[in-house]
């Protein structure tokens, strides 16, 4: 793609440096569009799935089967007046949603969606993803402090405590995957799991997979761990004072983080964009029918994207399913569960994985 873009510039005689500088703009725009579409669909999907599980009908008034419901919500939030009470710290109050939203957006660029469709391919991709994902917690604490309201302060403090205690098992179980794959480059992690269903990382580090999945739910503040915005106690915690576009940003960030965490779970443990049957069906189809290489890559790319989307939405359905069933944990139980239960489990998983890798080299 990049060399195609380069000879366009040469044809017009523009300086090459400009091409190099402006090239990363395109993947960023692609990621932003992907994010908006995904979140718009995800909000509606959550309401529909919850309605399905509780014998109700989801939103079906705005547009056919309620498809434009989220757009209507977004417009409503845009129109709403943006209230800021006088004592709040203006700068921090507006900064908080941005600090929560931007890290999630950056992670969108780091993950590989198909073998050649990815924004940035770094040698230590996994390391950067884990580092960035903990920045958005600071945004919650800023929101809690800046909105000068007792409930949000409690919400902010709780989210900080929860984030710190759930980040440690999150990182250790991610390290186990790096050991299995032998490298931190996301494409190699996925490549290493290419051999069909049984070569996924999920099987050797099953415990790690469970710990990682639970920590993803905690990272995204979903129900069993949604203490920071527990409606019944804290009247929706840190985003009590936010209205209008700022609230929309928080809302957007939560769903974007949910999607990207499920993509992360899929790429690390469920074999990313590789197909569960080992070989790609489109490859068979292409060899029989048409023989040129260009269309083969195109069809394989589509099938890889399909498998990634399919697995991600299975994981998202599981998160929503858990949201419909489980009650909320208390603050101290939350901490005890992570330090006393998840951390030893993830260390145990580390041992199992290294022993496994010692006997069966990658």
- Applying the rule CB under 8 A, the residues between 225 and 264 that interact with other proteins are 226-227, 230-233, 235
State the residue for tokens 């998983």: 349
Min. distance of Cβ 235 from other proteins in angstroms?
A: 7
Question: Percent helix, strand and coil across the chain, each rounded to 5?
Answer: 75, 0, 25
Taking the C-alpha atoms of residue 188 and residue 124, their distance in angstroms, rounded to an integer, is 11
Closer to other proteins at the Cβ: 129 or 329? 329
Site string for other proteins, 273-292 (x = CB under 8 A): --------------------
Told to check if 76 binds other proteins by CB under 8 A, we report no
In sequence order, which residues have a C-beta less than 8 Å from that of residue 161 and are 6 or more positions away? 331, 334, 335
CB half-sphere exposure, 109, CA atoms < 13 A: 17
Told to check if 322 binds other proteins by CB under 8 A, we report yes
Told to check if 81 binds other proteins by CB under 8 A, we report no
Taking the C-alpha atoms of residue 152 and residue 145, their distance in angstroms, rounded to an integer, is 7
Site string for other proteins, 151-190 (x = CB under 8 A): ---x------------------------------------
Told to check if 207 binds other proteins by CB under 8 A, we report no
Told to check if 87 binds other proteins by CB under 8 A, we report no
The closest of 133, 70, 270 to 189, measured between CA atoms, is: 270
Closer to other proteins at the Cβ: 127 or 313? 313
Min. distance of Cβ 56 from other proteins in angstroms?
A: 5
The closest of 211, 135, 217 to 177, measured between CA atoms, is: 211
Told to check if 197 binds other proteins by CB under 8 A, we report no
DSSP states of 220-238: TT-GGG-GGG-HHHHSSGG
- Applying the rule CB under 8 A, the residues between 45 and 74 that interact with other proteins are 50-57
Query: Which residues of the chain form contacts with other proteins (CB under 8 A)?
Result: 50-57, 150, 154, 223-224, 226-227, 230-233, 235, 321-333
């Amino acid at each position: 793609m990049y060399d195609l873009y380069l000879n366009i510039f040469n044809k017009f005689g523009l300086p090459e440096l400009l091409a190099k500088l402006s090239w990363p703009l395109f993947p960023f725009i692609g990621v932003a569009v992907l994010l908006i579409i995904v979140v718009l669909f995800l909000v509606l999907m959550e309401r529909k799935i919850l309605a399905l599980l509780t014998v109700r009908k989801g939103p079906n008034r705005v547009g056919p089967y309620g498809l434009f419901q989220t757009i209507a919500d977004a417009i409503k939030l845009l129109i709403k007046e943006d209230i800021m009470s006088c004592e709040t710290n203006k700068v921090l109050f507006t900064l908080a949603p941005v600090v929560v939203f931007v890290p999630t957006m950056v992670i969108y660029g780091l993950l590989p969606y198909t073998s050649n469709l990815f924004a940035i391919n770094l040698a230590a991709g996994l390391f950067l993803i884990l580092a960035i994902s903990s920045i958005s917690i600071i945004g919650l604490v800023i929101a809690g402090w800046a909105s000068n309201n007792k409930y949000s302060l409690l919400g902010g403090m709780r989210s900080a405590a929860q984030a710190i205690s759930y980040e440690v098992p999150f990182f250790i179980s991610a390290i186990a995957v790096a050991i299995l794959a032998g490298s931190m480059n996301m494409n190699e992690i996925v490549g290493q799991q290419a051999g069909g269903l049984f070569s996924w990382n999920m099987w050797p580090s099953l415990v790690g997979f469970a710990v990682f999945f639970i920590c993803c739910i905690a990272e995204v503040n979903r129900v069993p761990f949604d203490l920071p915005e527990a409606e019944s106690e804290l009247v929706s915690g840190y985003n009590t004072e936010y209205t209008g576009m700022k609230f929309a940003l928080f809302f957007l960030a939560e769903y974007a983080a949910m999607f990207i965490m499920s993509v992360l779970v899929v790429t690390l443990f469920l074999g990313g964009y590789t197909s569960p049957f080992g070989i790609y069906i489109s490859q068979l189809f292409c060899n029989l029918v048409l023989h040129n290489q260009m269309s083969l890559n195109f069809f394989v790319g589509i099938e890889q994207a399909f498998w990634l989307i399919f697995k991600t939405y299975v994981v998202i359905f599981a998160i929503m399913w858990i949201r419909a069933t489980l009650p909320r944990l208390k603050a101290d139980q939350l901490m005890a569960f992570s330090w006393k239960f998840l951390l030893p489990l993830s260390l145990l998983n580390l041992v199992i994985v290294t022993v496994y890798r010692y006997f069966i080299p990658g």
